[in-house]
Amino acid sequence: MTGEAAVSVPGKTILFGEHAAVYGHPAVVTALDLRMMVWAKPRPAAGPGAFRVKSDEPGDLADVAVEIATDGLNVPPEGLEVHIESAIPPGSGFGSSAALAVAVVAACRRACGDDASPSEIARLALAVETRQHGRASGVDVEAVLRGGVLWCRRRTDGSLEREEIPVAAATLDTFRMFHSGTPLQSTGEMVALVRRLMDDEPVRVGDAFATIDQVTRDGSRALLRGDGAALVDAVRAAEAALELIDVVPAGVRDAIRGIEAQGGAAKISGAGGRTGAGAGLILVAHPDAAWHDRLVRPSGWTPSIRA
């Protein structure tokens, strides 16, 4: 039966493993308490075009998601109206595109009378992300769809290995999140730049990915046993490897050196950026809450909610 469907989906942060995850290395991801709401319903009257999307999000991605979600379904003859409202900053590593892909797919399927399983929603949402970004690991789709802290790895056959990591709330308190400004480059552009670097300098990128792989494993064990000091080491090492593949703009690197000089660690979370002032979401790590309170925040960074 067709009808109105409402879906709420959280944002996400990648704690460890971005970029390497695209090439089959593991990532650790967690949902964030910033949400996107999507409503889909049959349009009141038939008119030109089968769909109308009302959104403060980039229109293209919503259109792609509606198209992929409704492919092969019995769409109501009058078409669908899709309405999107979001508190997730777009294009900045907070999981806005994954949330949009998952929420639009789930809402449109349900509005067309098809209750897709979570795995089917993940498959379609990954198709949306792949169309948008060229190549996508799917780890962010899993984060927003399943919630919690997850270990994920895309296998060579395309299937996804996924395991929940039971992390104490106090351990997640090691992290604070900041928005350093929207990157100038999109996720698709950053993934393509890393691909090009891989072709030109395979040893450099291979070394960086090997470090990211190891740090993701170390970081996930540290999360499990609640070891804040080991998490700080893992975040420092992850950031160094991400800088080696040129996904951290110069100004953000300098700001992160300043945080390290104060005894903490910080890394980009998500695709990052090549040029410009911002790299989107930044994770700052230190086990002591009082240290976070004393931290001199880099100029232009705004605090965000916690993981």
DSSP 8-state symbol, 305: -
d(CA 28, CA 292): 23
Q: Which of 10, 26, 270, 278 binds ligand PMV (CB under 6 A)?
A: 270
Rule CB under 6 A: which of 118-147 touch ligand PMV? 136-137, 139-140
Question: Quick one: which of 134, 52, 54, 62 has its CA closest to 99?
Answer: 62
Closest distance of CB 137 from ligand PMV, Å: 3
271 is an interface residue for ligand PMV by CB under 6 A:
yes
**Structure token pair of residue 9:** 């989906």
Q: Which is nearer to ligand PMV, 21 or 208 (CB)?
A: 21
Give the orientation angle of helix 59-70 with respect to helix 96-111, to 10 degrees: 40
What is the size of the binding site for ligand PMV (CB under 6 A)?
17
Nearer to ligand PMV, 19 or 286 (CB): 19
Q: Of the candidates 93, 181, 278, 287, which one interacts with ligand PMV according to CB under 6 A? A: 93
Enclosing H/E stretch for 215: helix 202-225
| Least distance from ligand PMV to the Cβ atom of residue 43, Å | 31
**Site track 13-52 with ligand PMV (rule: CB under 6 A), x = hit:** -x---xx-xx------------------------------
Question: Which position among 31, 191, 282, 284 is part of the footprint of ligand PMV (CB under 6 A)?
Answer: 191
How far apart (Å, rounded) are the C-alpha atoms in residues 96 and 121?
A: 16
Choose between 22 and 82: whose C-beta lies nearer to ligand PMV.
22
Buried b (16+ CB within 10 A) or exposed e, 270-289: bbbbbeebbbbbbbbbbbee
The whole-angstrom separation of Cα 85 and Cα 57 is: 8
- Contacts with ligand PMV by CB under 6 A lie at 14, 18-19, 21-22, 93, 95, 97, 136-137, 139-140, 187, 190-191, 270-271
